[in-house]
Chains A and B, each alone.
Chain A
């Protein structure tokens, strides 16, 4: 299989990249906002300082007087260790302070105007407020400017930026962990479907009728269509086999009848021998064809199993009765030991399975022996055991004997198709039961048990 990167990994990676982008973005935003907040704080304090100074402006004997309040500068010193500059001008005349401070930007009276400039080799933030003071006859606009360097703002902003960076990295890792979790969670339905499909038995081609997310519905329906087609094709080939077996059996019966008639009418011993061989070959072919037909029947009926209540004892008795003539031909006795054992299932199929097992037993038993059919129960299961006195199951692994067309290692010259136990095993599997094979003690004979769950 040509494997590419898993969807889960790709999804996790994509989400992680997104988380990284968002982390960087949020870090940038927090840094920007922190800087803005710090700047606004400084602006507010500068404005308060300038306003406090402007409030002391008054007119005395026609001159503008003012008094720098201690608090106006103390508040600037309280928030940071920034350098402080100031200037007070009346109209264009310098009243006090640093005369070469950059002039403030224009603004309306009574409002605080902020500006940024460079002074004494440092970037400064200035707040200016203008008030009209009546000095003499004319009102004079007096401008108070308070300025401060921005080191404190930078320090606060970089502190917060560092904190934001740490938080962003933490946020990123949490997001990656969550991404992995989300990827796994969203892929769970897919895994569930895969599990459901792989858990299925080899011949289970029923459609998957489970709830699936809308995204997976097309996949599910495609899978179901595929299984449907596969089922149809299997059914067609089973039909074909059944048809073929049927069509072979009819002419074979004719050939056998003709050969019997011929056998009776010829005198020559060599001819008779030849005819008997023909009859036996025809019998085997007919049996094989019958088993192929059985196999097809099992495959067909197991798909949609009828579950009628029935008693294994009755089944054993009926099947034994049906097989009695075949056994009698070789002087084989069929012994029955039964207890009532109620199961549910398809009587036709179960009869078919038991008949194949019994047929095998008769075929491999020497003449003048006994085959025992025993029906019994355990706590949850009912079973029929067929024990013969034949050569046993050989040395190979017994499980493989239920494989199609597989025959035991000690079958010797006995003709067989290798389908009998396969059919029995298939039937039992369809009923939720199983077929157990073992050799009897002292390797005398085989013991085949058909287990079924009790009703």
Chain B
């Protein structure tokens, strides 16, 4: 089989000679046997560990090697043919493109068959959570202000209180974060308020982040008054741990993006059986009725497109549109113009 070399991937993510993967976190969970399931994931270890433990209880013979990387590193790793048995990522556009370009292998079981049509594509890629993008605020720094419920109100509050919010708003640096770019492009497509919000934030000297967790930390610490487009599941998990009441989650009523966290078995995987078993477990949990103790939410009951603006982002070839280098360059130029006004 001829593996297509996708120009885009090489241009964008070949930042210098990438000899080693930039691994943010790594842990090996030894099993009783000699089989090792190698997982590459964008999900923080703290969030994903309950799933790993559950899997180890079910399959004690399998060791698990879990590496946390950024979504772009994950994309590059799979393009480069790195040896992983399962790829889990929140950047569903990059995941989709890998599957489309032939870097994923088919997997099919009764558990994956049970997933709704919009939560899987060609038996290659499977969604197991629906996670909305939210606004996280520091309650103390919002004292005396009415909480915004729509982007219009948010724009008004930011515009009317430049002193309070100057240097205190944070959002994804969409140049670095795959998930941030996905949220930004989907918002660009869905609401025109997005660019006006960017203009307003740009005037306030926004702080740009690579990851949701750091943004939430900074909001909790009071370094940020507001973080825009944060992964709701992380914020909720953080809120559960941190009971200070300092952090509040706002869900915009006018429009809300919901991302699907997806998993696939890379074409180069060795332990396909164990990887399939983990996908089965995730797919089964994705359809659970009660939220339970799991850190990540299940699939939303509403399918893609059922509630306009609130359903999950559709898993389909349209995701590749914003990954096109020309489109990406144009989008980033516009974004930089809005965000970097100083």
Whether B318 and A70, one on each chain, are in contact in the complex, defined by CB atoms closer than 8 angstroms, is yes
Roughly how many angstroms separate A95 CA and B122 CA in the complex, as a whole number?
29
Q: Does residue A81 face the partner (Cβ distance < 8 Å to B)? A: yes
CB-CB under 8 A for A73 and B326, given A81-B122, A98-B4, A120-B101: no
Q: Does residue B121 face the partner (Cβ distance < 8 Å to A)? A: yes
Classify chain B's interface size.
20 to 34
Q: Does residue A68 face the partner (Cβ distance < 8 Å to B)? A: yes
Chain B residues numbered 294-338 whose CB sits less than 8 Å from any CB in chain A: 314, 316-322, 324-327, 330
Residues on B with beta carbons closer than 8 Å to the beta carbon of A66: 326
Residues on B with beta carbons closer than 8 Å to the beta carbon of A85: 4, 100
Q: Does residue B2 face the partner (Cβ distance < 8 Å to A)? A: yes
Residues on A with beta carbons closer than 8 Å to the beta carbon of B240: none
Chain A window 68-92, contacts with chain B (Cβ cutoff 8 Å), 1 for yes, 0 for no: 1111111011100101110000000
A247 to chain B, nearest CB (A): 107
B255 to chain A, nearest CB (A): 16
Whether B321 and A70, one on each chain, are in contact in the complex, defined by CB atoms closer than 8 angstroms, is yes
Q: Does residue A267 face the partner (Cβ distance < 8 Å to B)? A: no
Whether A121 and B317, one on each chain, are in contact in the complex, defined by CB atoms closer than 8 angstroms, is no
Roughly how many angstroms separate A18 CA and B337 CA in the complex, as a whole number?
75
Whether A84 and B4, one on each chain, are in contact in the complex, defined by CB atoms closer than 8 angstroms, is no
**B317 CB contact (under 8 Å) in A77, A96, A98:** A77
Residues on A with beta carbons closer than 8 Å to the beta carbon of B1: 120-121
**A77 CB contact (under 8 Å) in B3, B7, B316, B322:** B316
Q: Does residue A215 face the partner (Cβ distance < 8 Å to B)? A: no
Chain B residues numbered 1-55 whose CB sits less than 8 Å from any CB in chain A: 1-8
Whether B121 and A81, one on each chain, are in contact in the complex, defined by CB atoms closer than 8 angstroms, is yes
Closest to A98 in B: B4
Whether B7 and A73, one on each chain, are in contact in the complex, defined by CB atoms closer than 8 angstroms, is no
Interface centre among B5, B100, B321 (most CB of A within 10 A): B321
Q: Does residue B222 face the partner (Cβ distance < 8 Å to A)? A: no
Roughly how many angstroms separate A382 CA and B80 CA in the complex, as a whole number?
118
Residues on B with beta carbons closer than 8 Å to the beta carbon of A307: none
Roughly how many angstroms separate A71 CA and B327 CA in the complex, as a whole number?
14
A278 to chain B, nearest CB (A): 117
Interface centre among B8, B100, B122, B324 (most CB of A within 10 A): B324
Whether A100 and B326, one on each chain, are in contact in the complex, defined by CB atoms closer than 8 angstroms, is no
Chain A residues numbered 49-78 whose CB sits less than 8 Å from any CB in chain B: 65-74, 76-78
Roughly how many angstroms separate A66 CA and B100 CA in the complex, as a whole number?
22
B4 to chain A, nearest CB (A): 5
Q: Does residue B189 face the partner (Cβ distance < 8 Å to A)? A: yes
B324 to chain A, nearest CB (A): 5
Q: Does residue A99 face the partner (Cβ distance < 8 Å to B)? A: yes
Residues on B with beta carbons closer than 8 Å to the beta carbon of A173: none
Whether A68 and B3, one on each chain, are in contact in the complex, defined by CB atoms closer than 8 angstroms, is no
Residues on A with beta carbons closer than 8 Å to the beta carbon of B2: 100, 119-121
Whether B318 and A99, one on each chain, are in contact in the complex, defined by CB atoms closer than 8 angstroms, is no
Roughly how many angstroms separate A77 CA and B316 CA in the complex, as a whole number?
5
Q: Does residue A94 face the partner (Cβ distance < 8 Å to B)? A: yes
B317 to chain A, nearest CB (A): 4
Whether B7 and A98, one on each chain, are in contact in the complex, defined by CB atoms closer than 8 angstroms, is yes
Could you list which residues of chain A lie within 8 angstroms of chain B, going by C-beta atoms? 65-74, 76-78, 81, 83-85, 94-100, 119-121, 151
Supply 28 A–B pairs (Cβ within 8 Å), ascending by A.
A65-B326, A66-B326, A67-B326, A67-B330, A68-B327, A70-B318, A70-B321, A70-B322, A71-B318, A73-B316, A73-B317, A73-B318, A73-B320, A76-B317, A76-B318, A77-B316, A77-B317, A78-B316, A83-B100, A84-B317, A85-B4, A96-B326, A97-B324, A98-B4, A99-B5, A119-B2, A119-B4, A121-B2
Could you list which residues of chain B lie within 8 angstroms of chain A, going by C-beta atoms? 1-8, 100-102, 121-122, 189, 314, 316-322, 324-327, 330
User: Closest 10 A-B residue pairs measured CB to CB?
Assistant: A77-B316, A74-B318, A84-B317, A121-B1, A73-B318, A73-B317, A77-B317, A120-B102, A68-B321, A81-B122
